[in-house]
Amino acid sequence: MHIANPIYDVVFKYMLEDNKVAKLFLSAIIGEEITELEFGAQERTVEIQIPVREGVPLTVCRLDFSAKIKTEKGFNTVIIELQKAKYLADLMRFRRYLGLHYQSVDNTSDDKQERARQIYCIYFLDYGMDLPPRPVLKVNYTVQDVYTGDEFPASGEFVSGLHHCLWIVQIKQLKQKRRNDLEKILSIFDQSNLTDSTKHILNVDNESFPEEYGQIIRRLRKAMEDQKTRRNMELEDEIIKEIQDKERQIEEMSKTIADNAKIISTLSDQNESLAKELDELKKKYELN
């Protein structure tokens, strides 16, 4: 089945703006049942433009949610921070934004704003990193006796309030072989399924896609048929091309500067050599 390519920010947002689809998708990633889901109180989606180098913007897609999760003991409310980046990102940016969640008094679960909600971070990365070559990685904290090494359940308000759970989806590691339902769901990001040169459309194996998650496929098919979304995908292509062109220009300028620096260094060495020869000639002339 043909669907719009969610590697594009506009399609990714379109998919998750459907509440039912967002609950299905995020529940599959975190492995917990989300019963209620709301976009962040202040803003639904944000695009941050940060210079990679001077004059070169880097666009990061960011969405925040408040989620009510069903647990064995009842229900728990968490903050879900989701970011998707196409290019090598500065780790400090992720830290700064995460820090805003820790500081915000809105991210609490009681009227006195004293009980912190746990934070779940989900990062979709479309570039290589120094991480294990796996499609989805989960990073979680442990509680350990320093002396014996014994581990205990990492539960409780104190621990969960000061640590966050992290899921990393490495888009380039998504392969044809799907080991579980989550990897089958994430096949919607597999760029080997491109159908045309524009990279706008993917061909997903609808038969192998988990039936209970069919709403995700239907939402992406609807995005493909939406003319506004298609136009915005073309606009995103233009922005990406402009970024890449500027990157190439900067690389060429850097190479030229490096070459000129070598020339200057060589001329400087030659100048020093000539100066030494001149001094020797002066001394010889004075002696004579």
Distance CA 16, CA 6 (A): 10
pLDDT at position 52, please?
44
Phi/psi class of residue 149: alpha, beta or left (left: φ > 0; alpha: ψ in -120 to 50)? left
Under a CB-based contact definition with an 8 Å cutoff, are residues 174 and 183 in contact?
A: yes
Residue whose tokens read 């002396």: 147
pLDDT at position 111, please?
61
pLDDT at position 25, please?
97
Predicted confidence band at 260 (pLDDT cuts at 50, 70, 90)?
confident
E-strand ranges in the chain read 2-4, 33-39, 45-53, 56-71, 74-85, 118-125, 136-139, 143-144, 151-152, 164-170, 201-203
pLDDT at position 43, please?
46
- Residue-wise pLDDT tens digits, 10-33: 999 999 999 999 999 999 999 999
CB atoms within 10 A of CB 159: 15
Tokens for 182?
Answer: 């989550």
Question: What b-and-e string marks burial along 134-143, b requiring 16 or more CB atoms within 10 Å of the CB?
Answer: ebbbeeeeee
Predicted confidence band at 90 (pLDDT cuts at 50, 70, 90)?
low
- Residue-wise pLDDT tens digits, 190-229: 988 898 778 899 998 888 889 999 999 999 999 999 888 8
pTM given for the model: 0.74
pLDDT at position 275, please?
81
Mean pLDDT of 113-123: 82
Among 1, 36, 4, 5, CA closest to 22: 36
pLDDT at position 103, please?
76
Predicted confidence band at 34 (pLDDT cuts at 50, 70, 90)?
very high
pLDDT at position 46, please?
45
pLDDT at position 54, please?
44
- How much is the mean pLDDT over the chain? 81
Find which of 18-22, 137-141, 233-237 is predicted with most confidence, using mean pLDDT. 18-22
Distance CA 209, CA 181 (A): 8
Predicted confidence band at 114 (pLDDT cuts at 50, 70, 90)?
low
Mean pLDDT of 84-94: 69
pLDDT at position 187, please?
92
Give the start-to-end residue ranges of the domains of the chain. Answer: 2-225
Predicted confidence band at 159 (pLDDT cuts at 50, 70, 90)?
confident
Mean pLDDT of 105-123: 76
Mean pLDDT of 62-72: 89
Under a CB-based contact definition with an 8 Å cutoff, are residues 35 and 27 in contact?
A: no
**Residue 171: C-alpha distances to residues 3, 36, 137 (Å):** 17, 27, 11
Distance CA 198, CA 194 (A): 9
Distance CA 194, CA 204 (A): 9
